[in-house]
Structure 1
Amino acid sequence: MKNVRENIIKLLSDLIKIYSPYFEEDEIMEFTYNWLKERKIPVKYHKYSEDKVTKFQGTNVVGNIKGQEGGLKILLNGHLDTVTISQGWTKDPLKPTIEGDRLFGLGALDMKGGSAAIMIALEAFVRNVKDFKGEIVYTLVSDEEGPYGLGTDATILDGLTENIDFSIVAEPSSGFADIEFPCLCLGARGGYNYKVNLYGKSSHAAAPEFGIDAILDGAKLICELGKVELKQDPQLGKGSLVVIETSGGGAACSVAEKASFTVFRHVVRGEDKEFLIKEVKEAAKKANIKSEYTIEFRDVPHDGVDGFKPYTVDEENPFTKELQETIKKVTGTYGTIAYFSSMGDFNYLGTRTDAPVFIFGPYGKNYHSPDEWVSIDSLVKTSQVIYDLLVKLLKV
């Protein structure tokens, strides 16, 4: 791979200049499609629509690079959307700025950088490797940062990921884990969003003993949930439970007859929706609340995206070893093994494709925050690792 540093800086800079928060990705998808087409990389638009909840009509950019029959089918995945611009930037978030090894800009780390690394690796592969076996599938998707990960979900629903042998998601594993590059994540915690609705009984505030205070019961239940001993996973560690919203009230000068609170619950293996329902019920008993209550999981487009399920990949998996050897060849050291603390498209791929999913990408800081930056050197090496692995596994 020649001129990788210059090419990846130019491509990433062009991507950063295009503002593409989730649900607003049309311009960046057009740019990406044209960039790939100009370099004679097989490419097409993948259109999808979600008609139940968001009413969103989205676009992914995808492609299949096919060699001879009989080889591996490898998926490369990245997302081109970002969060919206947060307050506090000291630099223009849409004007790429380089200071030493750091390239600043919205999405530089999460994850236009990783997507650029994939694109540069694909360009080099198509240019340099004419005789190979197997197939490369790449999906550069929209709406990863949105509520349901609709872009990658659509690629799974529409069969683009069928029969893959493994995936690489070029999210910034090193940056997210805050571990010196290289870092290889072999799985991730999952997560669910649910709401507890409490129904008490109104009475005059001067005589609260005749009522049932839904807000007070909600507070008791929240406190009891905070005492829950969370399950320990040998790889993923423990989950987490955070109350992200509360509400409640009733008539003026009255005991609150209604209350609710919303929880985001990161989970590890063995913790699913039924487990969380049981967890709330046990906490409600210990809290000795008098209010009736219901547990309401968020409305979803379909059952496959009712939550993000946790997953892991075995360190002894043969593809883990192949990837680690390639990382060592490029960087001089094996990747530090870690596990993603939050969730993303890799959870869908890791639990719905029956194939290992590796999270491998660059170092940097301030994702979803002001002055986001990516390490250029780690980004170049990420691209080199992807390219070298493809050549190693597919070249005849």
Structure 2
Amino acid sequence: MEEVLQRWYDLISIDSVMGHEAKAAEYVKKTLESFGLIVHMSYFPEDEKNERPSVWTVLDSGRPGPTLLFIGHIDTVDVNREAWMTDPFKPTLIDGKVYGRGAMDMKGGDAAILSTIGYFSAHRSEFAGKIMACFVSDEEGLSQGTYELVRENVIHADLALMAECRYDNVAVGFRGRFSFEVTVKGKAGHASRYPQVGENALISAGKLAAAIEALPTLSHPKLNRGTWCVRYLSGGSAGALVVPDSCYMFVDRYVVPGETAELCISQIMEAANALGLGGKVSVRLKPRKSPYMQAFAIPEDHVLVRTLQRHYRDVTGVDLPVAYDPSVCDSNILAVSLGIPVVTFGPSGGNMHGDNEYGVPEQVTNALEIYKRLTRDLLKPGAA
């Protein structure tokens, strides 16, 4: 078995469901150390027992030049073993597909990064500048691993590739995302006397929810439009004859450039006022430990994009189109928080976040070859 595929298999075999990244991090650390590199472990503050490390290293050619960052996450979503046809932590090859948790998202990308670093640690004459590699925790949660590296000021790069699982296109832009907590107040009363007595906060919240999802959004030529989604409503009591006097609403808002949290809150309050709910509605950005991700897009003709497309064509024989993702990922952090031009491309598969997730071996080996060629080209010795 090729070394990159063995590393892929090794990583799939490690249970690194979000919250339990330590064993995967230790595997990555030992692999990087075997290349003769100094390896760092980083822990975010909420990880009080130091059980959820992110791993990072820098490979220096010893010659001046730019820094290229490869980044991936080592955590996965959870599994429902009863719904799997194979052991999710035992990589199993069936009809050309390797089944296992993380086989698609995104241990193939991690393996390709590891093997890229391994190759250039043994062939330093083939590049100038530096190659940085980060393997982060909590990406499937609040991206606290990447945000901690930002807080520690350890990521310094001129260009970046996020090795997330998208193989048939390269993402050059992502929308942003905010979450809001909305509280709608009513007036309690005995249920037998309603509606003459009391004001039902659930009914008011339902009207407001419909109004929120109908609110206008800005558009972007590539990222399309922002969207509203009322994800959760809660209020009242099934065990008491009381008119509900409060309702909690959770609202997701995906945004394009130009849409801020302040604008979204203003829109919600305008909708409440239009329904006669002024003074009965409060809205706040849901508190969280890490910042919210904002939208971004890099030019389609950026050297990073064009170089990746060229080498993808050389390796696979087909063109690699650009894409714009409607969701968010750690690429948003690199682009917005650090100002690093970033593309998102890596080996993929199927059933991401679902039962019987799988990856494709050829995509893993091709990704490695593409990463190597990309590095040689972007960090070419003697380049101006």
Which TM bucket (shorter chain)?
over 0.9
Residue 129 of structure 1 and its aligned partner are, at CA, apart by: 3.3
Instruction: Tell me, yes or no, if the aligned pair for 1:65 and 1:135 is still in contact at 8 Å.
Output: yes
Instruction: For 1:362-381, list aligned pairs within 5 A.
Output: 362-381=347-366
Question: Post-superposition shift, 1:27?
Answer: 1.0
- Would the aligned equivalents of 2:69 and 2:132 in 1 still touch at CA under 8 Å? yes
Give the C-alpha shift of residue 394 in structure 1. Answer: 1.9
Structure 2 equivalent of residue 287 of structure 1: 275
For 1:91 and 1:138, locate their aligned partners in 2 and report how far apart those are by CA, in whole Å.
Answer: 32
Q: Where does residue 277 of structure 1 map in the other structure?
A: 265
* Aligned CA distance change for structure 1 residues 56 and 266 (closer, same or farther; 3 Å): farther
Per mean C-alpha deviation after superposition, the further-off stretch among 90-99 and 121-130 is 121-130
User: Over aligned residue pairs, what C-alpha RMSD do you find?
Assistant: 1.9
State whether structure 2 residue 140 is matched by structure 1 residue 155. no
Task: Give, as a single letter, the amino acid of the residue that structure 1 aligns with 2:320.
Answer: G
Match of 1:118 in 2: 113
Is 1:48 matched with 2:33? no
Query: Cα deviation per residue 1:210-264 (whole Å; 9 max; x = unaligned)?
Result: 3221111100001111222332211111233222221101682222111111112
Select 2:127's aligned residue among 132, 154, 159: 132
| Conservation of the 8 A alpha-carbon contact between 1:125 and 1:391 | no
Q: CA deviation at 1:291?
A: 6.4
> Is residue 109 of structure 1 aligned with residue 97 of structure 2?
no
Given the alignment, which residue of 152, 172, 194 partners 2:165?
172
* 2:304 corresponds to: 319
Matches within 5 A, 1:337-352: 337-352=322-337
- Structure-2 separation of matches of 1:151 and 1:371: 27
The answer for the alignment partner of 2:170 in structure 1 is 184
Gaps in structure 2 of 5+ consecutive residues: none
Match for 1:209 among 189, 196, 199? 196
Task: Note the alpha carbon deviations across 1:275-315, whole angstroms, 9 max, x for none.
Answer: 210221122133333661211322222xxx33111111101
Question: Structure 1 CA distance, aligned partners of 2:83 and 2:29?
Answer: 32
Instruction: Give, in angstroms, the shift of residue 374 of structure 1.
Output: 1.1
Tell me the percent identity. 29
**Which whole-Å CA distance do the structure 2 matches of 1:272 and 1:43 have between them?**
41
Q: Which amino acid aligns with 1:348?
A: I
Which structure 2 residues correspond to residues 219-230 of structure 1 after superposition, within 5 A? 219-230=206-217
SS at match of 2:252: strand
1:79 is matched with 73
Pairwise CA distance, 1:190: 1.5
| 2:379 aligned residue | 394
Aligned partner of 2:54 among 60, 64, 89: 60
The amino acid across from 1:125 in the alignment is F
CA separation in 1, counterparts of 2:38 and 2:93?
A: 30
Alignment of 1:29 with 2:25, yes or no, is yes
- The residue type paired with residue 15 of structure 1 is L
Query: Which of 253, 264, 287 is residue 265 of structure 1 equivalent to?
Result: 253
Structure 1, gaps ≥5 residues long: 175-180
Shift of 1:18: 0.8
Is the CA contact 2:235–2:246 (under 8 Å) kept in the aligned structure 1? yes
* Structure 2 counterpart of 1:238: 225
Change (3 A) 1:131 1:117: closer
Residue in 2 aligned with 1:11?
Answer: 7
Instruction: Please tell me the residue identity of whatever aligns with 2:236.
Output: G
Q: Does 1:94 align with 2:94?
A: no
Q: More deviation in 82-91 or 379-388? A: 82-91
Separation (CA, whole Å) in 1 of partners of 2:45 and 2:354: 29
Aligned residues: 377
Q: Is the 8 A contact 1:212 1:291 kept in 2?
A: no
Displacement of 1:8: 2.2
State the TM-score, normalizing by the size of structure 1.
0.90
- Give the letter for the 2:221 counterpart: P
For 1:291 and 1:98, the matched residues in 2 are separated by 60
SS across alignment from 1:20: coil
Distance 2:378 2:262 in 1: 41
Query: Could you say what secondary structure the match of 1:209 adopts?
Result: coil
- Name the counterpart of 2:234: 247
Q: Is the 8 A contact 2:93 2:99 kept in 1?
A: yes
